[in-house]
């Protein structure tokens, strides 16, 4: 990295974080953004009111400890307030977790592909990145991850449901893996999408934390609660770890409006969970439509679906969706499609039928329908590619 100033050489190693693209315009079509896993339903009643009320005195700093919010989270999770760490989104909590564990000469183990911030944060701390390729079904390779842990390892990151591929981590595999992790090594369980999971065997982070003191559960209000624009998340950790996290989290990071909105949303968590399961039902139908068209879609447990594709097909798929005013997320090994309105998903299904369909086609609404005899399509999508 060449520069006129005295900057860290590690900056040359940073992978770039690329946010989801906005949709391109197309004549006569409503644009839809399905590239950032945002909640597409309107806010719950009352949310906008508390945000407005909290912003009536913008000159005042917010409560730096987010006392009320921390108390509400602790009551909801049935933990002590000393175990709760608020942050400006789950990303800030993850950043703090790497900040208290990683430095030059240490290593971090994580699945790949997974949340793009993991290698960025590891690079920022000067740690060795040990990315373990996912299995062919999009799940964590736990034996492979365990084999990468050594005396230099300070942190392991897990993602359930995994972003971008979709599967949740199951209790049996999680417990088997934790038995292999030294008790002094912290394990961050990123549960940004846990509310959407309908897998009865999925590990429950807070329950697992009660028996694994080296586990740090990371959650967010961005996804199921629909508050991504306000930046509020939290971690649940052993009080010693939580105290260390609070040392490195930026003060006043969670604004007054974000605290108020998160508290109001948590007070209505039953409604949040109902809406999450409604989105999950749409997700399941969408995933099944794609599978019937010949797409390789792993078990989907977040508010998105992963379509495994080789690079050329992924580019073609993204471009075809863009021509229909739908933005999706192209990543190495495939494309990720967030769950949105039916009209948007129908357009994506129609693209899949045109580009990847094998054995079925899509009707006018975009839903999968049986193909006429003699129809032929391209081969099913490739397995997820290994990533750096």
Q: What is the pLDDT of residues 65-108, one digit of tens each?
A: 999 999 999 999 999 999 999 999 999 999 999 999 999 999 99
- C-alpha 223, offset from chain centre: 8
Read off the pLDDT band of 28 (50, 70, 90): confident
Mean per-residue pLDDT over the chain, rounded:
90
The strand ranges marked E within 142-211 are: 153-159, 186-190
Contact 84, 234 (CB under 8 A): yes
Does residue 161 have a cis bond before it (omega within 30 degrees)? Answer: yes
Percentage of residues in the chain with pLDDT exceeding 70? 91
Task: Determine the pLDDT at residue 361.
Answer: 44
pLDDT at 127: 95
Domains observed in the chain: 21-37+270-356 (3.90.1150.10), 50-267 (3.40.640.10)
pLDDT attached to residue 3: 65
Q: Please name which of 352, 362, 368, 346 lies closest in space to residue 313, comparing C-alpha atoms.
A: 352
Helix (H, G, I), strand (E, B) or coil at 367: coil
On the question of pLDDT at 153 being above 90, the answer is yes
Give the CA distances from residue 35 to residues 28, 325, 370, in Å, rounded to whole numbers and listed in that order: 21, 12, 29
Confidence of residue 20 (pLDDT cuts 50, 70, 90): confident
For residue range 319-360, what is the model confidence (pLDDT) as tens digits? 999 999 999 999 989 999 999 999 999 999 999 999 986 544
- pLDDT given at position 23: 80
Q: What is the pLDDT of residue 61?
A: 93
- Average pLDDT (154-173) is 98
The H or E element containing residue 277 is helix 269-292
For the residues 178-192, what does the mean pLDDT come to? 98
Name 45's Cβ contacts closer than 8 Å, sequence gap at least 6: none
Q: Which of 123, 184, 116 is nearest to 154 (CA)?
A: 184
Average pLDDT value for residue range 223-243: 98
**Which residue, 108, 311, 84, is CA-closest to 219?**
84
Model pLDDT, residue 357 = 67
How far apart (Å, rounded) are the C-alpha atoms in residues 204 and 192?
Answer: 12
Examine the pLDDT at 365 and tell me if it is beyond 90: no
Overall average pLDDT of the 119-128 stretch: 94
3-state SS assignment for residue 73: helix
Residue 118: C-alpha distances to residues 24, 140, 142, 254, 378 (Å): 29, 15, 17, 22, 34
- Average pLDDT over every residue of 177-189: 98
* Cis peptide preceding 113, ω within 30 of 0: yes
Q: What is the reported pLDDT for 382?
A: 34
């Amino acid at each position: 990295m060449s520069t006129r100033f005295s900057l860290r050489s590690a900056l040359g190693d940073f992978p770039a974080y690329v946010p989801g693209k906005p949709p391109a315009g197309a004549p006569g079509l409503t644009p839809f953004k399905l590239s950032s896993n945002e909640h597409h339903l309107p806010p719950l009643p009352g949310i906008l009111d508390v945000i407005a009320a909290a912003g009536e005195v913008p000159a005042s700093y917010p409560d730096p400890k987010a006392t009320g919010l921390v108390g509400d989270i602790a009551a909801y999770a049935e933990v002590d307030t000393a175990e709760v760490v608020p942050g400006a989104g789950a990303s800030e909590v993850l950043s703090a977790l790497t900040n208290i564990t990683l430095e030059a000469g240490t290593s971090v183990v994580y699945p790949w592909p997974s949340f793009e911030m993991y290698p960025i944060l590891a690079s920022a701390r000067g740690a060795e990145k040990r990315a373990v390729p996912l299995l062919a079904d999009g799940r964590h390779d736990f034996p492979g991850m365990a084999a990468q842990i050594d005396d230099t390892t300070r942190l392991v990151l897990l993602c359930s449901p995994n972003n971008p591929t979709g599967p949740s981590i199951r209790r049996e595999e999680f417990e088997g893996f934790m038995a292999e992790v030294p008790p002094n090594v912290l394990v961050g369980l990123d549960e940004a999408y846990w509310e959407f999971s309908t897998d009865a065997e999925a590990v429950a982070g807070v329950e697992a934390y009660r028996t694994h003191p080296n586990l740090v559960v990371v959650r967010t209000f961005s996804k199921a609660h629909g508050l991504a624009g306000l930046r509020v998340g939290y971690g649940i950790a052993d009080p010693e770890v939580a105290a260390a996290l609070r040392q490195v989290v930026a003060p006043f990071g969670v604004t007054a409006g974000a605290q108020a909105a998160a508290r109001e949303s948590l007070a209505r968590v039953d409604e949040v969970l109902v809406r999450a399961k409604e989105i999950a039902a749409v997700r399941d139908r969408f995933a099944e439509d794609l599978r019937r068209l010949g797409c390789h879609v792993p078990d989907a447990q977040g508010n998105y679906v992963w379509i495994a594709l080789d690079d050329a097909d992924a580019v073609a798929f993204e471009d075809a969706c863009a021509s229909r005013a739908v933005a999706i997320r192209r990543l190495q090994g495939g494309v990720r499609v967030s769950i949105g309105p039916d009209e948007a998903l129908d357009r994506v299904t129609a693209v899949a039928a045109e580009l990847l369909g094998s054995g079925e086609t899509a009707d006018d609404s975009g839903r999968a329908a049986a193909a006429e005899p003699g129809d032929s399509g391209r081969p099913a999508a490739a397995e997820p590619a290994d990533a750096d």
